[in-house]
Structure 1
Amino acid sequence: MALILQWICTFINHPNSQLMHHLRNHLSKLSVSLKSVFLLTLLFIGIQKSSAQTVYELNSGWKYAPIKTVGDKGEAISALNYSLKGWYPAVVPGTVLTSQIANKQIPDPFYGMNNKLIPEIYKTGRDYYTYWFVKDFKELPATGSQQVYLNFRGVNYSFDVFLNGHKLNVRSHEGMFLRANYNITSWLAKSGNNRLAVIVYPVDVVGNPNGGQGGDGTIARNVSLQYTAGWDWIKAIGDRNTGIWDKVTIEKTGAVKIIDPHVITLVPGVRQVEGVQQPAIIKVSADLQNATNKTVTGVLKYNLDGVPVAKKVTLKPNATQTVQLADYSLKNPKLWWPNGYGPQNLYNLQLQFVTAGNQLSDKKNIEVGVRELTSEWNAHTRSRQTNVNGQKIFVKGGNWIVSDELLRLSKERYDAEVRFHRDMNLNLIRVWGGGLTERPEFYEACDKYGILVFQDMWGSGDCNGRWVDPMKLEDQATRRKYPDNHPLFLESVKDQVKMLRNYASLAIWCGGNEITPPDDILAAIRDTIMPKLDNTRWFVDFSNSTAMSQDSTGVNSDGPYGIQPLSTFWQHRTYPFNSEVGSVGIGDIESLKRFIPAANLVIPEEENGKNKVKYDSVWEYHTYIGYHYTDNYGKPKDVADFAAKAQLVNYDQYRGLMEGFSSHMWDWYTGVIIWKTQNPWTAMRGQMYDYYLDPNACLYGLHSGSEPVHIMYNAIDGTVSTVNNTFKAKQKITVSIKLFDINGAETSLAKIYKDSIATGSAAVTNIQKAVAEASNSKGVFLSLRLIDPNNKIISDNFYWLPDNTGNYSGLQQMKPAQLSVSAKQITKGKVEVTLSNNKNAPVAFFNRLSLVNPVTKKRILPVFYSDNYVSVLPGEVKKVTIDYNLPVTNAQVAISGWNLPEKWIAIK
Structure 2
Amino acid sequence: MRKLLLLAIFFATHAFSQSSQQNFRLLLGQGWKMQSAVTDPASAEAISKENYDVRSWYPVSVPTTIIGGLLANKVYDFDPFMGRNFERLADPKLDRPWWFRREFTLPASENGKQVVLTLHGINYKANIWLNGIKIADSTETKGPFRIIKLNITKQIKNNGVNVLAAEILRPFNPNKSNGDLAIDYADWIHYSPDYNGGIVNNVEVKTYHQVGVDFPLVTTGFDLPSLAVAHLTVDAQVTNYTNTEQDAVITGKINNDIDFEKKIRLKPGEVRDITFSPAEYAQLNIRNPRIWWPWQYGKPELNRITLTAESGGRLSNTLSENFGIRQVSSTLIDNNKSRLFLVNGKPIMLRGGAWSPDIFQRRSAERQEQEVQLLRDMNMNLIRSEGKFEDDHFYDLCDKYGMLVMTGYMCCGSWQHPEKWDKNERNVAFESNIGLISWLRNKASIMVWLNGSDMPLTDTTVERGFLNTQKALKYPNPILATADGTKSRVSGFSGVKMLGPYEWVPPIYWEMDSIRKFGGAWSFATEISPGPSIPPYESLVKFIPKDSLFTTSADWRYHCGTMSFATTRIFDEALDARYGKSLSIKNYAAKAQAQNYEAHRAMMEAYGLKKYNTATGVVQWMGANPWPSLIWHTYDYYLYPAGTYFGMKKSMEPLHVLYSYKSNEVGIINSYPAGFEGLKVTASVYNLDGTLKYSNSVTTSIAADAAKTVFSMPAITGLSETYFVKLELTSAKGTVHSINWYWLSAKKDELNWKKSNWFTTPQTAFADYSAMQTMPKTPLRLAITRAAKDDSTMHRVTITNTGKAVAFFVHLRALKGKGGDDILPVIFNDNYLLLAPGESREITCTYRNSDLKQATPYFLTSAWNLDTVKSTGSANIAFETGMPVD
The answer to whether the 8 A contact 2:597-2:647 is kept is yes
Shift of 1:727: 4.1
**Structure 2 equivalent of residue 307 of structure 1:** 258
**Structure 1 equivalent of residue 623 of structure 2:** 677
Q: Secondary structure at the match of 1:494?
A: helix
**Structure 2 equivalent of residue 95 of structure 1:** 65
The answer to whether the 8 A contact 1:480-1:517 is kept is no
Query: Which of 37, 44, 53 is matched with 1:67 structurally?
Result: 37
**Residues 266 and 529 from structure 1, CA distance in 2 versus in 1: closer, same or farther, beyond 3 angstroms?**
same
Q: Is the aligned partner of 1:577 residue 2:535? A: no
Structure 1 window deviating more from structure 2 (367-376 vs 889-898): it is 889-898
Amino acid at match of 1:303: I
Query: Which of 168, 180, 188 is matched with 1:222 structurally?
Result: 180
Amino acid at match of 1:411: A
Structure 1 window deviating more from structure 2 (525-534 vs 675-684): it is 525-534
Amino acid at match of 2:259: P
Amino acid at match of 1:347: N
**Residues 64 and 226 from structure 1, CA distance in 2 versus in 1: closer, same or farther, beyond 3 angstroms?**
same
Q: Secondary structure at the match of 2:122?
A: coil
Amino acid at match of 1:851: A
**Structure 2 equivalent of residue 589 of structure 1:** 537
Shift of 1:436: 2.7
Amino acid at match of 1:114: N
> Counterparts of 1:306 and 1:840 in 2: how far apart (Å)?
64
**Residues 340 and 65 from structure 1, CA distance in 2 versus in 1: closer, same or farther, beyond 3 angstroms?**
same
- Give the 5 Å matches for 1:245-324: 245-270=200-225, 277-293=227-243, 295-304=246-255, 306-324=257-275
Amino acid at match of 1:776: S
**Structure 2 equivalent of residue 373 of structure 1:** 328
Instruction: Note the alpha carbon deviations across 1:558-583, whole angstroms, 9 max, x for none.
Output: 11221212211111133522222212
The answer to whether the 8 A contact 1:79-1:165 is kept is yes
- Give the 5 Å matches for 1:620-769: 620-623=557-560, 624-626=567-569, 627-628=571-572, 629-631=574-576, 632-746=578-692, 749-757=695-703, 759-769=705-715
**Structure 1 equivalent of residue 28 of structure 2:** 58
Shift of 1:267: 2.7
TM-score by length of 2: 0.84
> Counterparts of 1:859 and 1:56 in 2: how far apart (Å)?
40
**Structure 2 equivalent of residue 506 of structure 1:** 446
> Counterparts of 2:840 and 2:422 in 1: how far apart (Å)?
61
**Structure 2 equivalent of residue 408 of structure 1:** 362
Query: Which of 498, 503, 517 is matched with 1:562 structurally?
Result: 503
Amino acid at match of 2:507: L
Q: Is the aligned partner of 1:616 residue 2:582? A: no
Shift of 1:449: 2.4
Shift of 1:527: 4.0
**Structure 1 equivalent of residue 768 of structure 2:** 806
Amino acid at match of 2:528: V
TM-score by length of 1: 0.82
Amino acid at match of 1:224: A
Amino acid at match of 2:157: A
**Structure 2 equivalent of residue 39 of structure 1:** none
**Structure 2 equivalent of residue 782 of structure 1:** 725
**Residues 336 and 315 from structure 1, CA distance in 2 versus in 1: closer, same or farther, beyond 3 angstroms?**
same
Shift of 1:885: 7.2
Shift of 1:147: 4.4
Instruction: Note the alpha carbon deviations across 1:751-785, whole angstroms, 9 max, x for none.
Output: 21114446433221111413xx36424x3332212
**Residues 862 and 557 from structure 1, CA distance in 2 versus in 1: closer, same or farther, beyond 3 angstroms?**
closer
Amino acid at match of 1:806: D
Shift of 1:445: 2.1
Shift of 1:162: 2.1
Structure 1 window deviating more from structure 2 (855-864 vs 738-747): it is 738-747
Shift of 1:91: 4.1
Shift of 1:556: 6.6
Structure 1 window deviating more from structure 2 (644-653 vs 312-321): it is 312-321
Shift of 1:135: 1.4
> Counterparts of 1:784 and 1:505 in 2: how far apart (Å)?
35
Q: Secondary structure at the match of 1:642?
A: helix
Amino acid at match of 2:230: A
> Counterparts of 1:56 and 1:483 in 2: how far apart (Å)?
34
Q: Secondary structure at the match of 2:318?
A: strand
The answer to whether the 8 A contact 1:101-1:108 is kept is no
**Structure 1 equivalent of residue 826 of structure 2:** 863
> Counterparts of 2:106 and 2:855 in 1: how far apart (Å)?
44
Instruction: Note the alpha carbon deviations across 1:17-41, whole angstroms, 9 max, x for none.
Output: xxxxxxxxxxxxxxxxxxxxxxxxx
The answer to whether the 8 A contact 2:684-2:694 is kept is yes
Instruction: Note the alpha carbon deviations across 1:113-147, whole angstroms, 9 max, x for none.
Output: 11121226xxx487x34101111233334446644
Structure 1 window deviating more from structure 2 (403-412 vs 162-171): it is 162-171
Amino acid at match of 2:575: T
**Structure 2 equivalent of residue 820 of structure 1:** 782
> Counterparts of 1:783 and 1:794 in 2: how far apart (Å)?
14
Amino acid at match of 1:807: Y
The answer to whether the 8 A contact 1:508-1:538 is kept is yes
Shift of 1:345: 1.3
**Structure 1 equivalent of residue 401 of structure 2:** 449
Aligned residues between the structures: 806
> Counterparts of 2:59 and 2:112 in 1: how far apart (Å)?
36
Shift of 1:96: 0.8
The answer to whether the 8 A contact 2:236-2:274 is kept is yes
Amino acid at match of 1:866: N
**Residues 140 and 894 from structure 1, CA distance in 2 versus in 1: closer, same or farther, beyond 3 angstroms?**
same
Shift of 1:200: 0.7
> Counterparts of 1:853 and 1:247 in 2: how far apart (Å)?
36
Shift of 1:188: 3.7
> Counterparts of 2:446 and 2:685 in 1: how far apart (Å)?
44
> Counterparts of 1:548 and 1:407 in 2: how far apart (Å)?
33
**Structure 1 equivalent of residue 759 of structure 2:** none
> Counterparts of 1:242 and 1:409 in 2: how far apart (Å)?
15
**Mind listing any 5+ residue stretches in structure 1 that lack a counterpart?**
1-49, 208-213, 272-276, 467-477, 605-614
**Structure 2 equivalent of residue 892 of structure 1:** 857
Q: Is the aligned partner of 1:795 residue 2:795? A: no
Query: Which of 365, 374, 383 is matched with 1:420 structurally?
Result: 374
Q: Is the aligned partner of 1:197 residue 2:162? A: no
> Counterparts of 1:249 and 1:902 in 2: how far apart (Å)?
61
> Counterparts of 1:331 and 1:145 in 2: how far apart (Å)?
45
Instruction: Note the alpha carbon deviations across 1:240-296, whole angstroms, 9 max, x for none.
Output: 11101112223345443332222212233135xxxxx41111211111223244525
The answer to whether the 8 A contact 1:456-1:543 is kept is no
Shift of 1:526: 5.0
Amino acid at match of 1:439: D
The answer to whether the 8 A contact 1:891-1:906 is kept is no
> Counterparts of 1:860 and 1:147 in 2: how far apart (Å)?
51
Q: Secondary structure at the match of 1:732?
A: strand
Q: Is the aligned partner of 1:137 residue 2:95? A: no
**Residues 881 and 256 from structure 1, CA distance in 2 versus in 1: closer, same or farther, beyond 3 angstroms?**
farther
**Residues 803 and 383 from structure 1, CA distance in 2 versus in 1: closer, same or farther, beyond 3 angstroms?**
closer
The answer to whether the 8 A contact 2:456-2:487 is kept is no
Q: Secondary structure at the match of 1:817?
A: strand
The answer to whether the 8 A contact 1:892-1:907 is kept is yes
Shift of 1:619: 0.4
Structure 1 window deviating more from structure 2 (302-311 vs 323-332): it is 302-311
Structure 1 window deviating more from structure 2 (784-793 vs 572-581): it is 572-581
Shift of 1:448: 2.2
**Residues 373 and 842 from structure 1, CA distance in 2 versus in 1: closer, same or farther, beyond 3 angstroms?**
same
Shift of 1:630: 2.9
Query: Which of 322, 343, 351 is matched with 1:388 structurally?
Result: 343
The answer to whether the 8 A contact 1:266-1:282 is kept is yes
Q: Secondary structure at the match of 1:499?
A: helix
Query: Which of 542, 548, 556 is matched with 1:600 structurally?
Result: 548
The answer to whether the 8 A contact 1:154-1:178 is kept is yes
The answer to whether the 8 A contact 1:440-1:500 is kept is no
